[in-house]
Structure 1
């Protein structure tokens, strides 16, 4: 489901609970608002708020770690691509077509990543893309070194290709994280209970409604940020592709 839609659903649930609390307040008998009752509700709400805050903090930390990991792997992959190009250049003029093919494949990958579209991103791991990369690897394996220097460059090129392709799969797998539906439902339930209690014991006026509205937007925004960072290759928040563009500009030189 689209992250903005999920955030909107979270906002409706949370703010709706606050409005329900405000509407129920006028229908409750006076003894429900005694100091003892309010004290118990505050303690219970505080406990739920603490648990929700801990879970939100853990989710933000986990999503940020995933985002940073994918970003670092793309940067490392860009450096490896430059190394591969330089190793092929050292091998000799026989690798001119290989270097051109490498630049073409890498440019296509960057163009797909820049779209941020889930359908397009799926093409990076498609059988056609895998076949192209495997064919590129076979072309390197087919090189016939004429001396020890070329044999060494060929071995280094194959090692780099293996690491680059392994890193690509790792990046694709790590970029598909999301909040489990059950955890999200429980978290939204906790937030709804908290905001319902806020509305229940708050006076019904414009200032309170606006304050609850802003708090509900903040809660929905936190869920949106978590989901966006957990899927760093698509959506509104994506890993920067500057290092990859810089690497592409250096290929073939």
Structure 2
């Protein structure tokens, strides 16, 4: 397949990058069906989503976003709120002529994605996928999160996933990382997820100490229409280390093809 086309998109004076893989023409015209949009987590970029992006792009129009201040994008003068990042996602897709999409976030990206799902009009986001969601209130301190992430990196990640994450962390820098970390720790995910109208798939690596099984199952259960997929043999960066299984889970959940088993959970009525 062709490499994704990098597009610079500005929203409210803030520039981000959208990496687009569109059917048939190298990136200029979206297809008629729902696309898939991928959102990175804190301190990182589209790079650790590339394996998943390439696999998804074989079936559907696929977009990966580097939000303003992340990856190689210009850094805003002030830290953007989670709500502002959500507005960026929705406005960028509107500028690109993408009326309906499956929104997929990883780690802190699950917060950006959840907030976008709350802001979007009905039908705009057809399905919401939360990979390795944060932050479990039972591990609600920075020290607890750091310990879980450290265990994950040492015990459950591949050399390539660690290399991608840590080189992006270096590019991000400690000051920008810590500013965004405060926002991540304060976001009330359990409260927010109850307002999401779209069906929700929670995906976790079965060894992930950041998004453990109890938290992931609880979060899926709080969604109106929630489901949990656990992927064996990997940790937090599940979309890099088990990209094929994650691809299949997303496509099956969204009704876009490929079969995968999920664990349906009782949710709140919509």
Structure with the higher fraction of residues in helix conformation? 1
Q: Smaller-chain TM-score range?
A: under 0.3
Say which one has the larger Rg: 1
TM-score, scaled relative to structure 1:
0.20
